Chains A and B, each alone.
Chain A
Amino acid sequence: MSTPKKWKLSKDPLLRGDSKSGVRPPVPSADDSLIRHILYLEGPGRETPYLSTSENIEAADFFAQGGIVWKTFVKKAKDSGIGHISNSELLSVMKGNGKGKAKWDDAFEVMQARRYVEQWAEHLLDFREVDDPEKIVSLIFEKS
């Protein structure tokens, strides 16, 4: 009996389903609450300093919805000045009322967000310190 390979930060890609024309750039100055971002409370067109990515092609493909799957690597992102909030980091701060940028007044919403992070094997790319997100996004992402 075999178990699936564990995702490795040093060699496996981060995947994102987005439009065929490219990955939509984030807005570094937008509200940086992690729960707000993951729960997608403002819906389409909302501004966020984060880009959601996944370890799993199935999850990325699900979010592509007629678009395509893009990929990058943690090292490539970090070399361009982008922060990486790993799946395990996200899960570690999303308990109770959350910690740090995951602090939130509704513990139920924190748990719902935690469930999505686990179900989608989610990692975030953090653009809060990036000056030119449009340029960086086109630099680090390629078609999967």
Chain B
Amino acid sequence: MLHSCQNCWFNGLQYGALGLSVGYCSRHQKILNAADGTTCGLHMRKDLSLKRAQQVSLIHEAKYSKSVIVQIYTSEEANREVSSAKKDVDSLRGDSVGELVCDYGQLGSKIESLAQLKTLKGARAEVAMMSLARGYVNNCANRNSNWTSGLHLYWWTKKQLPEIPEISVGDIRTTNGIQLARQVDLTAWSIVMLRLTLIDDVIQYAASCDDPLGEANGLLQKAAEAVQIFNLQKLSKWLRTNALPTLDRMLSYDRYVELSNQLHKDTNNIPDIR
């Protein structure tokens, strides 16, 4: 169900086989009890690059309403499949990632919530941060046409890029009949590529502002061409020896500090997208 809520930027709690048994939509602020079978017109696919996700979303929004979550097969409004009941939300808040995802956009700035997710350990927290970050960066770029709103998210994600995600058995919500160890490997690959996808998103926005970082375009494709099987060690090595040097050439630490200082001096640059 690639066009279902589980594969959407705005659901930080699930991605493919990874996640909790329920999702959470940060746009509709509802718990998703059956995220593999629901969708809405706001859907943005997590597994695709920015340009392709935008293309696909145009097809999707022509078919589904943005204002309601529906069952995919019946196109009827989802009722039992979603919940915003306090007791359900309280239950979800019992999970540390679930709590931050529920609070996203509700308490202070969104970037603060993303920073808190970054401090949590584990693959689920990382997926939550990256999923919501894709929506955040896109929203900022559309509102103020300034790619540097994603500067810190880019930098945090770049630091993590070649690390092999640690996925525990409790992080996997389904095996779909394949062996657990293989599901873990495929899921870990998808997380590493989600990091690169978020980085690529920021690169695309930087390119549209004629920033030198935009010249690092194409890393997603280069990674997939260089490592054509799901071998995480090889992918990690390629990212360390090829992707990181390219990214560091286009945006050095000194320039990161400089841009970061500019960002904080000009408070108008801090987007209010609550």
A118 (CB) vs chain B CBs: closest residue: B186
Contact A95 B228 (CB under 8 A): yes
One of A71-79, A105-113, A125-133, A135-143 at the interface: A105-113
A100 at the interface (CB under 8 A from B): no
Task: State whether A67 and B177 are in contact (beta carbons under 8 Å apart), knowing that A111-B224, A119-B16 are contacts in the complex.
Answer: no
A60 (CB) vs chain B CBs: closest residue: B177
In the bound assembly, the distance between CA atoms of A97 and B221 in angstroms comes to 9
B253 at the interface (CB under 8 A from A): no
Partner of A41, one of B56, B63, B183, B230: B56
B49 at the interface (CB under 8 A from A): yes
B176 at the interface (CB under 8 A from A): yes
Q: Please indicate the chain B residues that have their CB under 8 angstroms from the CB of A121 in the complex.
A: 177-178
Q: Please indicate the chain B residues that have their CB under 8 angstroms from the CB of A59 in the complex.
A: 176-177
A105 (CB) vs chain B CBs: closest residue: B221
In the bound assembly, the distance between CA atoms of A115 and B37 in angstroms comes to 20
B220 (CB) vs chain A CBs: closest residue: A108
Contact B1 A65 (CB under 8 A): yes
Contact A119 B59 (CB under 8 A): no
Q: Please indicate the chain A residues that have their CB under 8 angstroms from the CB of B221 in the complex.
A: 106-108
A interface list, Cβ under 8 A from B: 4, 19, 39-45, 54-59, 62-63, 65-67, 95-97, 106-112, 115-116, 118-121
| Nearest Cβ on chain B to A53's Cβ, whole angstroms | 13
In the bound assembly, the distance between CA atoms of A106 and B71 in angstroms comes to 31
Within 8 A of A (CB), among B187-226: 189-190, 193, 220-225
A55 (CB) vs chain B CBs: closest residue: B177
B48 at the interface (CB under 8 A from A): yes
Contact A44 B176 (CB under 8 A): no
In the bound assembly, the distance between CA atoms of A30 and B220 in angstroms comes to 29
Partner of B56, one of A43, A54, A112: A43
Contact B72 A44 (CB under 8 A): yes
In the bound assembly, the distance between CA atoms of A93 and B74 in angstroms comes to 35
A and B contact pairs by CB, cutoff 8 A, 24 listed: A4-B179, A44-B3, A44-B63, A56-B176, A59-B176, A59-B177, A62-B36, A62-B174, A62-B176, A65-B37, A65-B72, A65-B73, A66-B71, A66-B73, A96-B228, A107-B222, A107-B224, A107-B228, A108-B49, A109-B49, A111-B228, A112-B193, A115-B186, A118-B186
B244 at the interface (CB under 8 A from A): no
| Nearest Cβ on chain A to B15's Cβ, whole angstroms | 12
B93 at the interface (CB under 8 A from A): no
Q: Please indicate the chain A residues that have their CB under 8 angstroms from the CB of B182 in the complex.
A: 118
